[in-house]
């Protein structure tokens, strides 16, 4: 059978993934609730997502769902088990340029780095891309540079 996943979500009680899919043969849209078993707040979300994607019972439904999306859904489940609200868990997926990454724990830092890598890959232009332009020159407006006190002090020795 061939299925096309349309939407994925999370159900907190009991912990489960919800997949809205379309059966390509009958064109019916259906909902499947996939229980997440043996998953705790100490579980590895990457391993759990991989096991679920390769599970023989759910493999056909999750074939078109990217591994990163399944990991993100498992991460939301784990955050909920740790007591974080849904809003706070979703906010951890947003990139804030003013956020100090030195204050994050290892898991949070790995999450942010993964998001930055994903954003970089989306925006990267290769030679094979149709809109690739070699040697792009851009003129950035020059800002007026003022004198600093340390500039004046360093002139004495030179």
List pLDDT tens digits, range 68-101. 899 999 999 999 999 999 998 888 888 888 889 9
Quick count: other Cβ atoms within 10 Å of Cβ 106?
7
* One domain for residues 7 and 81: yes
Range of the domain at 25: 3-86
28-38 burial, b at 16+ Cβ within 10 Å, e below that, comes to eeeeeebebee
Q: Count up the domains in the chain and report the number.
A: 2
pTM over 0.75? The answer is no
Instruction: Answer yes or no: is 139 within a domain.
Output: no
Instruction: Answer yes or no: is 148 within a domain.
Output: no
């Amino acid at each position: 059978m061939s299925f096309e996943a349309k939407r994925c979500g999370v159900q907190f009680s009991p912990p489960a993934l919800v997949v809205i899919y379309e059966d390509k043969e009958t064109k019916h849209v259906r909902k499947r609730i996939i229980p997440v078993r043996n998953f705790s707040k100490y579980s590895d979300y990457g391993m759990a997502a991989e096991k679920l994607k390769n599970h023989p019972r759910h493999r056909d439904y999750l074939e078109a769902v990217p591994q990163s999306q399944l990991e993100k859904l498992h991460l939301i489940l784990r955050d909920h088990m740790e007591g974080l609200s849904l809003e706070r868990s979703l906010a951890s997926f947003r990139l804030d340029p003013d956020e100090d990454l030195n204050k994050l724990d290892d898991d949070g830092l790995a999450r942010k780095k993964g998001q930055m890598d994903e954003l970089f890959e989306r925006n990267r232009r290769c030679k094979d891309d149709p809109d690739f332009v070699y040697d792009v020159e851009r003129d950035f407006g020059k800002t007026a540079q003022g004198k600093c006190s340390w500039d004046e002090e360093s002139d004495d020795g030179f």
